Amino acid sequence: MTAGGVIAGIDIGGTKTAGALVSREGTVLARAERETPARLGGDAMAETAAAVVADLAAMGGPPAAVGVGAAGVVDQLTGEIRAASETFVGWAGYPLGERLTDRLGMPVRVENDVNAFLLGERAWGSADSGDALGMMLGTGVGGALLLGGSLWHGPHGAAGEIGHTPGYGDLACTCGRTGHLETLASGTSIARRYCRATDSAPLSARVVATRARAGDDVARRVFLDAGRAVALACVSAATLLDLPLAVVGGGVSSAWDLLEPGLDEVLRDQPPVSGIPLRIVPGALRSDAVVLGAAALVADLPTLPTESELVREPR
């Protein structure tokens, strides 16, 4: 790793595009955020990402390279978005890496946002093994795989989509199928299940968590079921791939105290047959995980010394 030169990590999500200027050691030096124009097409979203980089540069100087974590299936070699949800208009097929490189005039790397999350946790967070499953519980449920120290993309760049594996009930999933892990473990599903069971008006998973902590039995049950489902998915992945670790992030993971009983129950009753204990741990980087992971994508890119470093260099 070359010393000197800050880097930038950008997280392009469905509602906001967040960015951070990051040191090569993973310290956040500055932050910026803009609304994602998700319905206005690829160019508008790339322009917003470039504007966030400019905001960061104005605060802490221009970065040497930019890493991007983006929602959707990403070709990490070219930085093209291969597939995306309906939230993003004109995103599938968009050559994000190429356009941003041209626009910014600096090296750019693009990854799927959940892959970036796991990479961030591996670089500077709680992934203390190079073989791990990453899972993000947010609006949906995303997954990522780290095998032998490297992200595993699969031949189509679509590996790790554990949120859309079946066998978890009979509710309709956002993808149109039925009974996917996401229908139990996403924030949206937690809120929806609680509302259905109690006949209450729409509310957020955060409110369900608050009620669970206040002793609401239905709310506790919904989180218990989510924890069990997450653990079952982790055990399946660990059994298949000999993984000792799963790192769980995303907004819902802030209710770890409520997920943990379900996680512990499954780990106790259904441990991997290998006898190798599986640990399921919360991500340590919280809401910074994707921007830090995006920065980690370019942390090893060599940079030329800056002018001030050349001046300071002893002759």
**Site residues (CB under 5 A) for Zn ion?**
164, 173, 175, 177, 180
Burial (CB < 10 A; 0-12, 13-18, 19+), residue 89, is: middle
For Zn ion, the closer of residues 142 and 262 by Cβ is 142
Cβ 166 to Zn ion shortest distance, Å: 8
Evaluate whether 97 touches 110 at the Cβ level (below 8 Å). Answer: yes
Dist CA 302 CA 284 (whole Å): 27
Cβ 3 to Zn ion shortest distance, Å: 44
For Zn ion, the closer of residues 80 and 182 by Cβ is 182
For Zn ion, the closer of residues 180 and 192 by Cβ is 180
Q: Is 171 helix (H, G, I), strand (E, B) or coil?
A: coil
Task: Count Cα neighbours of 109 within 13 Å in the Cβ-side half-sphere.
Answer: 21
Tell me the residue nearest to Zn ion as measured from the CB: 173
Cβ 160 to Zn ion shortest distance, Å: 14
Dist CA 29 CA 167 (whole Å): 43
For Zn ion, the closer of residues 169 and 305 by Cβ is 169
Residue carrying the six token digits 């506790």: 220
For Zn ion, the closer of residues 178 and 287 by Cβ is 178
SS3 per residue for 14-72: CCEEEEEEECCCCCEEEEEEEECCCCCCHHHHHHHHHHHHHHHHHHHCCCCCEEEEECC
